[in-house]
């Protein structure tokens, strides 16, 4: 069964819009765990427009499940991760001015750079994942970097799901096979939701983890946070 890691960035976005501490990001993370989430993900950016570096430090002391910190490995990010020492770090090549992550790494072009970053984190006992688009070639070079896992960027799957789910998942299935052949672990994330998650997890049954934030938080407005997390877990279990 793939684990569900809840990305709590949107709780911080709401808090920051008004100031103060409502909603309480630390309590939200603890509640996600209490309601069944098997991990917590944050994506701190240098401008701290949602999750702040201080949030990330504070979360380390209260979480009981796997902590995943994702982001572009600029110096400040690397230093933060080495200070917090999460279970997993996910390397994402997002520019400072993007609203959300919009592409995976070109692992061939950036192989030397990624090798250096991966070695830093792995030497400190942190499982390292690389965010990639669904192209098998990217997996081969990711494996050369020394990483432990890759995370498939699933926006294209999500956008194509309603029109033709078989066609939408085909490149992901082929890439996931390459991940298995390379001996890497497999994560996935971006725009996965209650409509498209089950088919993805059922088709790629060796999936280790999904990271879901925006859709899950939106669903919780209508369903409540506990019911929403349980609904997502059912999608992962209902093979």
Question: For residues 16, 19, 23 and 29, what is the CA-based torsion angle, rounded to 10 degrees?
Answer: 50
Averaged confidence pLDDT in the chain: 95
Name the band, by pLDDT with cuts 50, 70 and 90, for residue 37.
very high
CB atoms within 10 A of CB 207: 22
Q: Which residues pair with 66 in a beta bridge?
A: 39
Quick check: 12 and 51 in contact, CB under 8 A? yes
Q: Fold for domain 3-237?
A: TIM Barrel (3.20.20)
| Domain spans, the chain | 3-237
Name the band, by pLDDT with cuts 50, 70 and 90, for residue 94.
confident
Is position 43 annotated as part of the catalytic site?
yes
Catalytic-role residue among 43, 50, 151, 209: 43
Is position 96 annotated as part of the catalytic site?
no
Catalytic-role residue among 50, 70, 151, 209: 70
Asked if pLDDT for residue 110 goes beyond 60, the answer is yes
pLDDT score at 81: 98
SS3 67: strand
d(CA 135, CA 145): 16
Catalytic-role residue among 50, 151, 190, 209: 190
Asked if pLDDT for residue 99 goes beyond 60, the answer is no
Is position 144 annotated as part of the catalytic site?
no
Q: Phi and psi at residue 224, in whole multiples of 5°?
A: 90, 150
pLDDT score at 104: 92
């Amino acid at each position: 069964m793939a684990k569900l890691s809840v990305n709590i960035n949107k709780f911080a976005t709401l808090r920051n819009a008004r100031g103060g501490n409502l909603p309480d990001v630390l309590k939200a993370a603890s509640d996600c765990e209490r309601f069944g989430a098997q991990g917590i993900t944050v994506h701190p950016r240098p401008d701290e427009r949602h999750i702040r570096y201080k949030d990330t430090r504070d979360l380390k002391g209260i979480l009981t499940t796997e902590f995943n910190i994702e982001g572009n490995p600029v110096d400040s990010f690397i230093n933060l991760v080495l200070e917090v020492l999460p279970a997993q770090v996910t390397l994402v090549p997002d520019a400072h001015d993007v609203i959300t992550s919009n592409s995976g790494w070109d692992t061939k072009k950036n192989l030397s750079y990624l090798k250096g970053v991966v070695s830093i984190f792995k030497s400190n006992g942190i499982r390292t994942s690389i965010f990639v688009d669904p192209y098998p070639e990217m997996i081969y070079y990711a494996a050369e970097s020394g990483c432990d896992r890759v995370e498939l960027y699933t926006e294209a799957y999500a956008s194509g799901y309603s029109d033709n789910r078989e066609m939408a998942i085909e490149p992901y299935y082929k890439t996931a096979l390459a991940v298995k052949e390379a001996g890497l672990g497999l994560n996935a994330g971006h725009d996965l939701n209650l409509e498209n998650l089950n088919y993805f997890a059922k088709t790629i049954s060796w999936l280790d983890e999904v990271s879901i934030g925006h859709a899950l938080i939106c669903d919780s407005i209508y369903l409540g946070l506990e019911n929403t997390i349980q609904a997502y877990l059912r999608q992962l279990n209902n093979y």
